[in-house]
Structure 1
Amino acid sequence: MSGNEEERPERPSEVDGTAHLFSALGKMLKVLRRNAGLSQTELAEITHCSEDLISAIERGVRTPQPDFLIRADPAVRAGGVLAAAVDDVREARARTRHPDWFRSFAKAEGEAVALHYYAVQAVPGILQTPAYAESVFRHRRPLYDEVTIEKRLADRLARRVIFEKWPAPTMSFVVEESVLRRPLGGREAFREQLCLIAEAARMRTVHFQIIPTDREEHPALEGAFTLLTPKGRREVAYIESYRHARLITDPEEVRMYTERYGVIRAQALTPYESLDAIEKMPGEL
């Protein structure tokens, strides 16, 4: 799944009042910074971040990292006020890490006991390296600003924690061969991406398959989708296209995607054949 994103810089969610928390912290930081006689550039240097980030936090359009609040507190002579908000910010960030339209899927993905991804345009987001993911975000249109790219990248890479879970969810990927022939991010970066895919494909909890481009039949030309089974619940499907995301729970509609995925897997190379193909690809670039 490519993980399409919103076109404007994301505001923190209004859910549970978290937007008000971040807005208040931003205004407080701005007053404290000015009272301390610091410019945004100077505070950025002290806290080891960008001036754009300081501006975004003060305007309430970027959620501050807890580490930033700890570094900023003495710099703006806050007397522990900013540091005292760290626990609340951690809890709020956990709820607002993803855009509102994506959050229902992100939550389901993190709790799932089974995950099945079919990709047609790009490497599934959960398998992307930093360089590959940055290229996806940096070259989309309309363009993202640097702050949004940074946040989208951090959010996407955070999803990889699912590979460290135990008991691990059952995971499978079916990817079109054309995706693995498109060197997004440059050839060197794409070699790294292929190596990461091969590493995942060797995991005993993961099945990775490639659909060769020369297949004469195809049951899913409508686009990518994901099937996931939340713990204790029925399987659901997820689709997205140009900011329009949909989590499908209707049993009959989900059954359609499940049947489609089964046919796709049958037409793909086996996991062993796919791994062999992936391991040869870096040398072909």
Structure 2
Amino acid sequence: MLLQYLRKRAGMNQQQLGDAIGYSLEQVASVEQGRRPAKAAFTAAAERALEGGGVLETLQGEVDRAKLPRFFRNVALLEAEALSRFSYDPLLAPGLLQTEAYAQALLEAHFPPLDDETIEQRVAARLARQSLLTRKSPPVVFVFVVEEDALRRVVGNKAVMREQLESLLTCSQRRNVELQIMPTARGAHSGLNGPMVLLESMDRTRHVYIDAQGVVTVRSNEDEVSEFWLRYGMLRTQALNTEESSRLIERMAGEL
């Protein structure tokens, strides 16, 4: 509705707006009618053409969250307000570090199968979440502990996996990101109970969420959350340090 209001205020019809921003009439109509969430590029182009004063871009975060699976939207809100985010990923590259091709391959393997439009929207939403990595006010501190076997699983094909590993190396060079690999040789450890994400919000409230098979559980009880933070601290001592982890990822990429 806001896009429609700004378009009419500018004296444009849908075709004229589409011509001005490089999108088809059908795409403009779909966004206006809520049938297709706007991508960031669409929003930025519409802002310029309609002189929206930033109102469309301000709402882009909500639009991006609407593309996420319903079960994950509340978690995305917690992430958006986080000062720190620590995760343990035993099966896959972390969603916040996935390349477009890697995310696309995962969603194409989803069962029951997803339609093309849903896959497109979920890939876009996953990539949009990655803006957290570069947020400056305030910045978010990230720690990722990832199982070695998760990065040896070839998702898509070898080229996709090589690109994913190289992207992990690039992301790990950010000052606010630490990436540690849990070596398979470590054997049994407490993380094998499953994945976890620990969040600390701007008001210093701590949360833990667990996402398994599309079921998300969020906890904020101090006693429960404290146990997870202790467990995560132990995982970090058992994993390879950041330098060792980078060298291992480089070797895995070279093997593909």
Normalised-by-shorter TM-score class: 0.7 to 0.9
For residue 154 of structure 1, report the CA deviation from its aligned partner. Answer: 1.0
User: Residues 232-251 of structure 1: matches in 2 within 5 Å?
Assistant: 232-251=203-222
1:275 paired with 2:246, answer yes
Q: State the secondary structure of the residue aligned to 2:245.
A: helix
Equivalent in 67, 90, 97 of residue 64 of structure 2 = 97
Q: State the secondary structure of the residue aligned to 1:97.
A: helix
Q: State the secondary structure of the residue aligned to 1:183.
A: coil
Q: State the secondary structure of the residue aligned to 2:233.
A: helix
Give the aligned partner of residue 15 of structure 1: none
Alpha-carbon contact 2:84-2:142 (below 8 Å) kept: yes
1:187 paired with 2:196, answer no
Q: Which AA in structure 1 matches 2:121? A: K
Alpha-carbon contact 2:64-2:128 (below 8 Å) kept: no
Q: Which AA in structure 1 matches 2:201? A: P
Alpha-carbon contact 2:83-2:201 (below 8 Å) kept: yes
Distance 1:63 1:189 in 2: 27
Equivalent in 110, 118, 122 of residue 152 of structure 1 = 122
Unaligned runs of 5+ in 1: 1-20, 26-31, 37-42, 73-79
Equivalent in 13, 27, 37 of residue 63 of structure 1 = 37
User: Residues 2-13 of structure 1: matches in 2 within 5 Å?
Assistant: none
TM-score (norm 1): 0.72
Alpha-carbon contact 1:111-1:230 (below 8 Å) kept: yes
For residue 151 of structure 1, report the CA deviation from its aligned partner. Answer: 0.9
Distance 1:70 1:204 in 2: 28
Distance 2:240 2:56 in 1: 46
Distance 1:67 1:213 in 2: 41
Distance 1:252 1:200 in 2: 33
Change (3 A) 1:144 1:262: same
Distance 2:40 2:232 in 1: 41
Distance 2:219 2:131 in 1: 24
Give the aligned partner of residue 118 of structure 1: 88
CA RMSD between the two structures:
3.2
Alpha-carbon contact 2:43-2:56 (below 8 Å) kept: no
1:126-181 CA-partner distances (Å, limit 9, x unpaired) = 00011111111111111111111111111111112122223532211100011110
Equivalent in 171, 196, 214 of residue 225 of structure 1 = 196
TM-score (norm 2): 0.79
**Higher mean Cα deviation, 97-106 or 139-148?**
97-106
Alpha-carbon contact 1:104-1:247 (below 8 Å) kept: no
Distance 2:193 2:24 in 1: 42
Q: Which AA in structure 2 matches 1:140? A: H
For residue 109 of structure 1, report the CA deviation from its aligned partner. Answer: 1.5
User: Residues 66-85 of structure 1: matches in 2 within 5 Å?
Assistant: none
1:245-283 CA-partner distances (Å, limit 9, x unpaired) = 122111111112112111211211111111111112111
Percentage identity across aligned positions? Answer: 33
User: Residues 131-170 of structure 1: matches in 2 within 5 Å?
Assistant: 131-166=101-136, 167-170=138-141
Give the aligned partner of residue 10 of structure 2: none
Q: State the secondary structure of the residue aligned to 1:227.
A: strand
Change (3 A) 1:174 1:58: same
For residue 97 of structure 1, report the CA deviation from its aligned partner. Answer: 2.2
For residue 63 of structure 1, report the CA deviation from its aligned partner. Answer: 2.4
